[in-house]
Amino acid sequence: LYQDGIALSVYRNRYRLKRKGINYGRYKLYDKKWLHDLNIKTVIDIGANIGEFTIIYSELFEKATLYAFEPLPACYEKLSKRTSGINRIHVYECGLGDTIGEQSINLSSWHPASSFRSMDATHKVNYPHSADSVSVTVNINKLDNILSTKDMVGNVFIKMDVQGFEDE
């Protein structure tokens, strides 16, 4: 143990994850025995943004195939670059909904705050760094049009961060 009581193996793991661009604190949120015990074989990341959680899931579920969906073009580009060396990750430039077509999204000056819903005044006051936005048209598709049940083997883990598009 080091002076601060952290084992050398923890430092090594933090360093290994950092080299892969993974935030250790966020990784630890999901590094739970009960989650590993589920033997996840398919991960569907709906609203993958730039791939922070997609990369974390690829580490946690080493035998899983991952499908990441992101409609914002700039975020999709970063997601594609971050995941390009991991063959188990498949990325799609679209949002998922109950219809096929196009939808306007409010692209925030701080991309994680982008939303299909309008930002209200309280949000703008409390989070001024995300207050500016422009409307962007993105593609929407149905999950059933992209993946079939044969693509979803074993236990399936679905993460959704769809920025106001939950009902759809």
pLDDT tens-digit series, residues 130-168: 788 888 899 999 999 999 988 899 999 999 988 888 888
pLDDT tens-digit series, residues 114-126: 887 887 888 778 8
**Stated pTM of the model:** 0.87
Helix H, strand E, coil C: the string for 128-147 is HHHCCEEEEEEEEECHHHHC
For strand 40-46 and strand 89-92, is the pairing parallel, antiparallel, or unpaired? unpaired
Angle between helices 73-83 and 52-60 (to 10 degrees): 30
Distance CA 166, CA 47 (A): 11
